[in-house]
Amino acid sequence: MTGIALRDASYAAGGKTILSGLSLHLAERRIGIVGRNGSGKTTLLRLIAGLVAPSTGSVQVDGIDPCTDRKAALSRLGILFQNPDHQILFPTVEEELAFGLRQQGLPQPRALDAARAALRAEGRAHWAAAPVSTLSGGQKHWLCLQAVLMMQPQTLLLDEPFAGLDLPTAARITRRLAGLAQRLVTISHDPAAVAGADRVIWLDAGRVAADGPPAQVLPAFAAEMARIGDSDADTDLAG
Amino acid sequence: MLTLTSPVRTPLDRLPASAKLAALAAGTVLLFWLTSPWALALALAGVVGLHLPWGRPFAAHAARMLRPLWPFVVVVAGWHLWTGEIASGTAILLRMVTAVAAANLVTMTTRLSDMLAVFEWLALPLSPLLPPRRLALAFALVIRFVPTLSERMDRILEAWRARSPRRPGWRVVVPLTLAALDDADHAAEALRARGGAG
Amino acid sequence: MERSLTHIALFAALIAILGLVPQISLASGVPITAQSLGIMLCGTVLGARRGALAVLLFLALVAAGLPLLSGGRGGLGVFAGPTVGFLIGFPIAAFVAGWIVERTTLPVGFAATAAAVIGGIAVLYAFGIPGMALVLKKSLGEAALLTGAYLPGDAIKAVLAGLVTQSIARMRPGSLLSRA
């Protein structure tokens, strides 16, 4: 089966259930996942990416298990972390970009060449040897996205891709993402970020609260968020 | 990150790092064989001679790198003046300064990446236990995370000062260590997301 | 695998940062660096094997030319100087400290303090003193006298290593790999 398929997938950590009994088949080109903080959005993304295994049930991407078959998962799934500093692993821009290609079997000199070519194509040739610690937040964000795109995954998993970015940077990223041929799964707490999706899933307390076209899901989500915002004193402790 | 390699390029930079390391090892063994102050003085003159042709900034950089030795020089000099064993004291100080200066010279004329490549080559016999790519990855991760962690330290110190008139003291070590543990978990996940540690 | 590698790398970086920070000062106002505290923490938090590997990784980068030792020192010269014994003793100190925390069932704060004293002081000085004796051509007794200057600071750091390890155990029990 092509696409991302979850069958009765649950995830629990430290005695706390984060996702329970999710069954979803994701095959659309643009998919949005909305929910409050702590609703399990990021965990769902990590589950799909194969970074964690489901406690029960199964997750499959094009018929493979992304958690055990890492090699096959790499060409299918790329994940963009919310915080670029959690994603960047190398001291210089070119090493960061080359790493994924190296992981896919390219020898280091060719991986570095490809990284420099990608930088040239984006008008950033002078970034190659720059230390990543000198990049601004938006520039780090660009680097992370580029590093994932270098590996040419069929699906891109995006965790709050606009969090903390200023308006011009967010606009640039939106434009860049819109132009991608890949399938995009975007999670966000902001309905506007996924308004253009083909399908939106509203996650609440680890379960699907609603699933459908954005015109149907997002107004209900926004209304519920407004209602909670008016009433909720936010006194509940997790766990 | 700032390295101790001198920005002044010298002909010594063009020698292979492995050759410089081998020469340094042989030279250091020889130094510990020599006992005559005259022979040691000659050795020091030789090492100093290797510093001088590359200009004043290079020599000043080398002198700065010798600075941490001065307390030991003072102690040993005082000790031998007190006991009257001037010749042996001179030999000890000449040997120490020469050995350290020669080693620093190799560091100053070798790029970090070249030196690390030699280390990776030296570690090749260990490759069943320690795959070369994993060692290279470990070097890169440390170089990547020293500035990040340093910045975290500054933020922690700021957060402390924003709410306390007293000096931060050792308590900042706890959040800093937690930051290192968190970063390690995040980096592990990022590594897994892009194919693992190989 | 990944987690092991990144913990080793991050703690190598942590040793460096603790050496760069002069702000940590004792009650007396004498600034001391926390670098040897970093060595102790590698053992007490990461355990014997990972702790020793973190220290070795740190030393390799110092030798390669990064100024990561306290006071911005580094390069090959530090391995020819009088404190070379301490550098050689660092990974072994971390290993012994980690081994003690792993193998005892004592409360973690107490075990870590004892481990830091035994590994981070007794074992470390067992390497540091002969190293200094060799470079400065002094007897072991005379070298011990010279290294005595570091002892009060290291004793305080051993206690701090215990306190910090205990805090980690309380706040992030899953991250205390030495007791995992």
d(CA B156, CA B168): 9
Q: What per-residue confidence (pLDDT) applies to C29?
A: 43
Smallest CA–CA distance, residue B96 to chain A, in Å, is 35
d(CA C57, CA B143): 11
The per-residue pLDDT of chain B, averaged, comes to 92
- The residues, ordered by sequence, that sit 6+ positions from C160 with a Cβ below 8 Å of its Cβ are B170, B173, C34, C37
Q: Is A65 exposed, middle or buried (0-12, 13-18, 19+ CB in 10 A)?
A: middle
Domain boundaries, chain C: 2-177
- Average pLDDT (B165-184) is 87
Question: Which candidate from C12, C73, C76 shows the least CB-CB separation from B68?
Answer: C73
Smallest CA–CA distance, residue C67 to chain B, in Å, is 6
Question: A88 vs B190: CB contact, 8 Å cut-off?
Answer: yes
Q: Does A67 touch chain B (CB under 8 A)?
A: no
Q: Does A25 touch chain B (CB under 8 A)?
A: no
Q: What per-residue confidence (pLDDT) applies to A78?
A: 94
Name the pLDDT band for B154 (thresholds 50, 70, 90): confident
Spell out which residues of chain C touch residue B2, defining contact as CB-CB under 8 Å.
Answer: 67
Q: What per-residue confidence (pLDDT) applies to C28?
A: 42
Question: Which residue in chain B has the smallest CA separation from A72?
Answer: B195
Mutant choice from B90, B142, B164, B194 vs C, greatest count of C C-beta within 10 A:
B142
Q: Does A132 touch chain B (CB under 8 A)?
A: yes
Question: Which candidate from B1, B190, B196 shows the least CB-CB separation from A87?
Answer: B190
Name the pLDDT band for A141 (thresholds 50, 70, 90): very high
**Sequential pLDDT tens for chain C (180 residues):** 788 999 999 999 999 999 876 554 444 444 467 899 999 999 999 999 999 999 999 999 999 999 999 888 899 999 999 999 999 999 999 999 999 999 999 999 999 999 999 999 999 999 999 999 999 999 999 999 888 878 888 998 999 999 999 999 999 888 899 887
d(CA C17, CA C9): 13
**8 A C-beta contact, residue A79 and residue A45:** yes
Question: Which candidate from A46, A70, A89 shows the least CB-CB separation from B144?
Answer: A89
Q: Does the structure show a pLDDT above 90 at B162?
A: no
The per-residue pLDDT of chain A, averaged, comes to 92
Give the A:B interface size as CB pairs under 8 Å: 63
pLDDT, one tens digit per residue, over A59-82 is: 999 999 999 998 899 989 999 999
Mutant choice from C1, C4, C5 vs B, greatest count of B C-beta within 10 A:
C5
Q: Does the structure show a pLDDT above 50 at B38?
A: yes
Q: Does B130 touch chain C (CB under 8 A)?
A: no
d(CA A143, CA A115): 11
pLDDT, one tens digit per residue, over B2-31 is: 889 999 999 999 999 999 999 999 999 999
**8 A C-beta contact, residue C127 and residue C92:** yes
Q: Does A135 touch chain B (CB under 8 A)?
A: no
d(CA B97, CA B45): 11
CATH of C2-177, one of 1.10.1760.20, 1.10.1040.10, 3.40.50.720, 3.40.190.10: 1.10.1760.20
Question: B195 vs A74: CB contact, 8 Å cut-off?
Answer: yes
- Average pLDDT (A88-106) is 92
* ipTM score of complex: 0.93
Q: Does the structure show a pLDDT above 80 at A176?
A: yes
Q: What per-residue confidence (pLDDT) applies to B160?
A: 84
- Average pLDDT (B42-66) is 95
Name the pLDDT band for A232 (thresholds 50, 70, 90): low
- Average pLDDT (B81-104) is 94
The more confident residue out of B18 and B172 is: B18
pTM: 0.89
- Average pLDDT (A205-230) is 93
Q: Does the structure show a pLDDT above 50 at A49?
A: yes
- Average pLDDT (A134-154) is 93
Name the pLDDT band for A15 (thresholds 50, 70, 90): confident
Mutant choice from A77, A80, A87, A143 vs B, greatest count of B C-beta within 10 A:
A87
- Average pLDDT (B41-52) is 96
Per DSSP, the three-state class of B196 is: coil
Question: Which candidate from B101, B102, B187 shows the least CB-CB separation from C6?
Answer: B187
Spell out which residues of chain A touch residue B180, defining contact as CB-CB under 8 Å.
Answer: none
Pairing relationship of beta strands A30-34 and A183-188 according to DSSP bridges? parallel
